Structure formats: C-alpha cells, structure tokens
Amino acid sequence: EDKVVQSPLSLVVHEGDTVTLNCSYEVTNFRSLLWYKQEKKAPTFLFMLTSSGIEKKSGRLSSILDKKELFSILNITATQTGDSAIYLCAVEAGTDKLIFGTGTRLQVFP
Amino acid sequence: GAVVSQHPSWVICKSGTSVKIECRSLDFQATTMFWYRQFPKQSLMLMATSNEGSKATYEQGVEKDKFLINHASLTLSTLTVTSAHPEDSSFYICSARDPAGKYNEQFFGPGTRLTVL
C-alpha cells in the first residue's frame, strides 16, 4: 500500500529559527513529490521535485529529494510568524493521484 | 497561477438532505478534477477522480451512491453528498490539473466546509 509519512507532526519555534520538515514515502511508480502550505483553506503549491539531489529554492524555503532513500526535506530559514501553517507532502504515483502525508503543523511565535 | 473556485464555501444542512458542491477551473480547461476530504487535524484523503464526459473513479471505501460526481464540462465538476449524515461533516476540497502549467501541478480550490446537523 502506498504511503507518505511526515515528521514531526507538530513543531513550535521562535521567529528567526530554522526548521527542517521531513517526508518519507513508499509508493509504486513514483513520479514526483510535492510540498504544499495549508493555512486556513486549501493548500498552496510550494515545490515539485522529480530528481534526486537538485535543491529547489524559493526565498527562505528550500527542498530536496533523495530517491534512493525515499525521502524529502523542506527547510525554512529565518522563520516568521507568517510561516505558521500546516505543511503537506504529497507524492504523485502512477496516475494523476496525489497521496498526502499527515502534514506537519508549524507554529512560529514572535 | 491557475485558479480553481468552489461553491459554496460553507454549508450547513439537516441530516437526510443532499448537498451539491461545485468546483470550477476559472482560467483553464481541466479534463480531470479531483475531490478530497479532510477531517480536522488530518490530511487530505482522495475520494475520487472526476473525468470529463465519463464516470468518476472512486477510491476504495468511498461510496459511489453517496458521493455522486458529475463532470459535465471541461471547467465544472460537481460533488453531491446524498442523504447527508453528521459523520459526513468535513472539509471538501477539489483540485484540477492545468496541463499548460509550468509544473503540470494540481491547483486546489478554497474548499467547502460541510456541517450536517
């Protein structure tokens, strides 16, 4: 059975801290791994990763994929209160289906 | 990026009634749309894949007769929760893939919060 596991489930930090969110997966016919940020409503797209070892960056956020060890990390540097959200990892396997992890709830306090 | 809308954004209904949720791709055509359900503090669970002009593909454990999906055009898919019960209360989110998008990623609608009394 395909599965995506995220850790930690919850994280509380102070502004300025750096955080690393983890995502491991076991799926057949892996196509891509995606990271989303979910605040109060629907998830918003952050990154799509398809190749190992190539870092994707967007401002203070970066992500990398290891297809050999079957995991990805999402880094956020110099965190701000606006980074508080649930971060979802999803894997696209086989068809167009996305399999989501449980998410990591990040809370950033001033 | 591509925009997906949902209507209504929230709905409260009595047990036993049916509720229809619309999902629209506003600036692109989507042959495939996806319906997810999210319970509080849980992740998104795919319910079904909606295919324009054909029957939806349901995930294991999702009742086809309870969650009716219609994808009548390239920009509209509807989910009807029939004979809703309190346990159907959840956050329903649709998504659509923009084939012309940079990453061919799925764009999500804002979600519909359903409360069944």
Residue A22 confidence (pLDDT) above 90: yes
Higher-scoring residue by pLDDT: B54, A65: A65
Which of A89-93, B25-29, B83-87 shows the lowest per-residue confidence on average (mean pLDDT)? B25-29
- DSSP secondary structure string, A18-54? -EEEEEEEE-SSEEEEEEEEESSSS-EEEEEE-STT-
Q: Does A13 touch chain B (CB under 8 A)?
A: no
What is the pLDDT, as a whole number, of residue B54? 84
- Average of per-residue pLDDT across B89-110: 84
Option in A48, A95, A102 nearest B105 (CB) = A48
Terminal C-alpha separation, chain A:
41
- Average of per-residue pLDDT across A78-84: 97
Chain A contact probe: residue of B36, B105, B112 with most A CBs at under 10 A: B105
Residue B35 confidence (pLDDT) above 70: yes
Size of interface A-B (CB pairs under 8 A): 48
- Min CA distance, A41 vs chain B (Å)? 5
Whole-number Å distance between alpha carbons of A99 and B76:
23
Hey, which residues does B40 pair with through a beta bridge?
A: none
- Relative to beta strand B112-116, strand B90-97 is antiparallel
pLDDT-derived band of residue A73, with 50, 70 and 90 as boundaries?
A: very high
Count of residues for chain B?
Answer: 117
Phi-psi category of B3—alpha, beta or left, where left has phi over 0 and alpha has psi -120 to 50? Answer: beta
B-chain CB neighbours of A48 within 8 Å are 103, 105
Q: 3-class SS at A80?
A: coil
B-chain CB neighbours of A1 within 8 Å are none
What is the pLDDT, as a whole number, of residue A90? 95
Q: Does A34 touch chain B (CB under 8 A)?
A: yes
Q: Each residue of A30-59: pLDDT tens digit?
A: 999 999 999 878 888 899 999 999 999 999
Q: What is the 8-class DSSP label of residue B59?
A: P
